[in-house]
Amino acid sequence: MPYLHLQISGEADAALSANAARSATELTARLLGKDPSLTAVVVDFIAPSQWFIGGRPLSAGGPRSYHWMVSITDETNTKREKAAYLDAVHATMRELLGGVAEHSYVHVADLRASAYGYGGLTQEHRYQHVAG
């Protein structure tokens, strides 16, 4: 049940939003083993004049940037899986945006099962009450 929040520098673009959300869902399923039917994605666009790297706004020129945050349940993925995910996300965003600033970020938030959930239930509760 991952939740992804993507922030992308630049003007709002519905086609890019849809492609980024589709890519986020696919990568998270394929590389982290998460159920795509339970994956939620939010895409926000940030004006280049409001995004700074090294104290300079992106509106001053140079490549676009992004911040990709995915929340997952702690201890459900290995370090190796997360490293492969970060690499694939960066390559995907570089392709979608036509190049990206090196200082674009991916954040995998490993959240405790007792403090994370959906539909009013924690992941810990779901784990403890699995049928079978």
Cα dist from 9 to 12, 43, 58, 80, 98, whole Å? 9, 11, 8, 29, 12
Q: 0.85 exceeded by the pTM?
A: yes
CATH number of 3-52+64-128: 3.30.429.10
| Residue 131: per-residue pLDDT | 57
Which residues make Cβ contacts (< 8 Å) with residue 125, sequence separation at least 6? Answer: 117
Predicted confidence (pLDDT) per residue in 24-45, tens digit:
999 999 999 999 999 999 999 9
Domain ranges across the chain? 3-52+64-128
Low-confidence ranges of the chain (pLDDT < 70): 131-132
pLDDT at 132: 54
Please give the pLDDT value at position 56.
94
